[in-house]
Structure 1
Amino acid sequence: MIKIENLTKSYPSKIGPQYIFKNLNFSFPTDKNVAILGRNGAGKSTLFRLLAKSEYPDRGRVLTNRSMSWPVALQTGIHPQMTGRENARFIGRINNVRSLASYENSVQEFAELNKKFDLPVKTYSSGMRAKLVFACCMNIDFDVYLIDEATSVGDPLFRRKAKETLREKAKNAGVIMVSHELDQIREYCSSAVLIDKGKLTYFEDLEEGIAIYTGDKNSGKGKK
C-alpha cells in the first residue's frame, strides 16, 4: 500500500500560492495496476513526482514499504556530463544492484547504445537519452513502476520491446501509469485514480474510471 497523509502541495505565483493538493489523505493499492487520470493541470505529474519522492510536499507525507521506480519519462537521475555507463553504475549503486558489471551490460544491450554507451549523455539525442533511462529502470526489479508515456520513446522496434518488457514486469510488480493514450492505459492497467479539483477518487473498475474521466454520466461513482 502507498499511503498519502495530510499532504499539501503548492507552487508560488505572482498572485500567491497555487495549491495542487490541500490536506490530502489517500491510499493507493499496490496489488492492482493503476492509471492516473485527470485533465491537463489537474496535478498528475505533481502526484507522480510526490510518489517517487523526486519532489516534496509543503506539509504531510507519502508512506510506503514498497520500492518504487522513478518516473521514467522525467529522466530523473541522469547526469549529462557523465557517460551512459557511469550513469548506469550510479543508478545501480543507489538502488543496491548486486552485480554492477552485469547491470551495466544489460542496460547497454537493452538501450541499444553500443559504443555510445561510453560517451557523455550530453552528446545523446533525446531519443537515446530516453532509451537509457528506460533501460536503467527496467533492469531493476522494483515493487512498483511509475510509468509516464515511457513506452512511446525510440523507433518502432524499440517501442515494441519496451511494451513487451513492461508487460512482463507488470505480471509480478505494480504499475502506476499516466498516459494520454487510453489504449495504452487499457493495455497495462485494471483500475484508475481520477484527480479532480485536488481530490483523488479510486475506481476498482478501470472502464468506470475512464467513463467518468471522459464525461459519461451514466457511470457510477468511485470510492474516495
Structure 2
Amino acid sequence: MIQISNLTKSFRSKGAPQYIVKNANLDIPERKCLGLLGRNGAGKSTLLKIITGTLLPESGDVKISGTISWPVGFAGSFHGALTGAQNTLFVARVYGIDTDALIDFVEDFTELGQNFHMPVRTYSSGMKSRLAFAVSMGIPFDTYIIDEVTSVGDAAFRQKSSAVIRERLKHSGAIVVSHSMGMLHELCDCGAVLEKGKLAYFPEISDAIAAHEANMKAKDHEN
C-alpha cells in the first residue's frame, strides 16, 4: 500500500508559490493499478519523484509497504563504461535477486545480441531504452512506476513491452502515467487527477478519465 498524507510541494514563480500538490491525501491499496492524470505541466512527474523518494516534499509524507520500482525504463543510472550485462549484474546485486536469472531475462527480452556485451556508451537511445525497460521488468517489485514507457521502440517492442507489463500487474500494483486513455483503461483499476495542486481520487479509472477530460475542456475554454 502507498499512503500519501497531507503532502505539499511548491516552486517559486515570480515571487509566489506555485503548488504541485497542496495538502494531498491518497491511499493506493496493494495490487491496485492507479492511473495518474493531469494536463502537461500539472506536476505528475514531480509527484512520482516524491513517491519514489528522489525528491523531498515541503511537508507531509509518503508511506510505502513493500517494494517500489524506480520509473520503469529509466536509464540514467547506467554506467557508460560497463556493458549491458555488467550493468544488469550490478542492479541484480543491489536488489539481492538471482543474477543469472535477471541477465538471462534481460538478454532475451532486449534482443540486443552481441551489443549486450558492449559498453552502454556505445548504445543508441533506443538500445538504452530496451535495456532499461528489461532491467525494470526483470525485478519483481510490489509496485511499479510506469511513465509513458511503452512509447519507446518500434511497434513489435511496444507490443512486447505491453504484454510483460500486463503479466507483472497480475501480481503487483502500479502507478501509471500515460497520454493514452486506451492504455489507462486497459491497465488501471482506479485513478487520480492532479489539477492546480489538488489530487482527486476516483475508485474507477473511467471516472478519473472523465474528470481529466472535463478539466482539459475547461482549460480550452479559458484560452
Note whether the superposition's TM-score is higher than 0.5. Answer: yes
Q: Tell me the SS of whatever aligns to 1:41.
A: coil
**Offset of residue 110 of structure 1:** 0.9
> Relative to structure 1, is the Cα distance of residues 143 and 76 closer, same or farther in structure 2, using a 3 angstrom cutoff?
farther
Aligned 1:30-179 pairs, distance under 5 A: 30-97=30-97, 99-179=98-178
Q: For 1:32 and 1:40, how far apart are their aligned partners in 2?
A: 24
> Are positions 1:190 and 2:189 aligned together?
yes
Aligned to 1:219: none
Whichever residue aligns with residue 215 of structure 1, its letter is A
> Relative to structure 1, is the Cα distance of residues 205 and 160 closer, same or farther in structure 2, using a 3 angstrom cutoff?
same
Aligned residues of 2:26 and 2:201 also touching (Cα < 8 A): no
Q: For 2:25 and 2:35, how far apart are their aligned partners in 1?
A: 18
* RMSD over equivalenced CA pairs, Å: 1.9
**Offset of residue 61 of structure 1:** 2.2
**Offset of residue 82 of structure 1:** 2.5
> Relative to structure 1, is the Cα distance of residues 104 and 3 closer, same or farther in structure 2, using a 3 angstrom cutoff?
same
Aligned residues of 2:20 and 2:47 also touching (Cα < 8 A): no
Aligned residues of 1:73 and 1:149 also touching (Cα < 8 A): no
Aligned to 1:28: 28
**Aligned residue pairs, count:** 215
Q: For 1:169 and 1:76, how far apart are their aligned partners in 2?
A: 23
**Once structures 1 and 2 are overlaid, which stretch shifts more, 80-89 or 20-29?**
20-29
Whichever residue aligns with residue 4 of structure 1, its letter is I
**Once structures 1 and 2 are overlaid, which stretch shifts more, 205-214 or 28-37?**
28-37
Flag the structure with higher strand content.
2
Q: For 2:31 and 2:172, how far apart are their aligned partners in 1?
A: 8
User: TM-score by structure 2 length?
Assistant: 0.88
**Once structures 1 and 2 are overlaid, which stretch shifts more, 123-132 or 49-58?**
49-58
Q: For 1:168 and 1:70, how far apart are their aligned partners in 2?
A: 18
Q: Tell me the SS of whatever aligns to 1:69.
A: strand
Higher relative contact order (CA 8 A, sep 6+): 2
> Relative to structure 1, is the Cα distance of residues 13 and 96 closer, same or farther in structure 2, using a 3 angstrom cutoff?
farther
Q: Percent of counterpart pairs with the same letter? A: 43
Q: Tell me the SS of whatever aligns to 2:48.
A: helix
**Once structures 1 and 2 are overlaid, which stretch shifts more, 119-128 or 71-80?**
71-80
> Relative to structure 1, is the Cα distance of residues 28 and 52 closer, same or farther in structure 2, using a 3 angstrom cutoff?
same
> Are positions 1:202 and 2:201 aligned together?
yes
Aligned residues of 1:192 and 1:205 also touching (Cα < 8 A): yes
Cα deviation digits, residues 100-144 of structure 1 (max 9, x gap): 122112111111111111222221111111111110011111111
Q: For 1:57 and 1:75, how far apart are their aligned partners in 2?
A: 24
Whichever residue aligns with residue 67 of structure 2, its letter is S
Aligned to 1:221: none
Aligned to 2:219: none
Aligned to 1:220: none
**Once structures 1 and 2 are overlaid, which stretch shifts more, 66-75 or 110-119?**
66-75
Q: For 2:86 and 2:143, how far apart are their aligned partners in 1?
A: 25
Aligned residues of 1:9 and 1:21 also touching (Cα < 8 A): yes
**Offset of residue 72 of structure 1:** 1.5
**Offset of residue 53 of structure 1:** 1.6
Aligned residues of 1:54 and 1:70 also touching (Cα < 8 A): no
Q: Tell me the SS of whatever aligns to 1:6.
A: strand
**Offset of residue 164 of structure 1:** 0.8
Structure 1: any 5+ residue segments left out of the alignment?
217-224
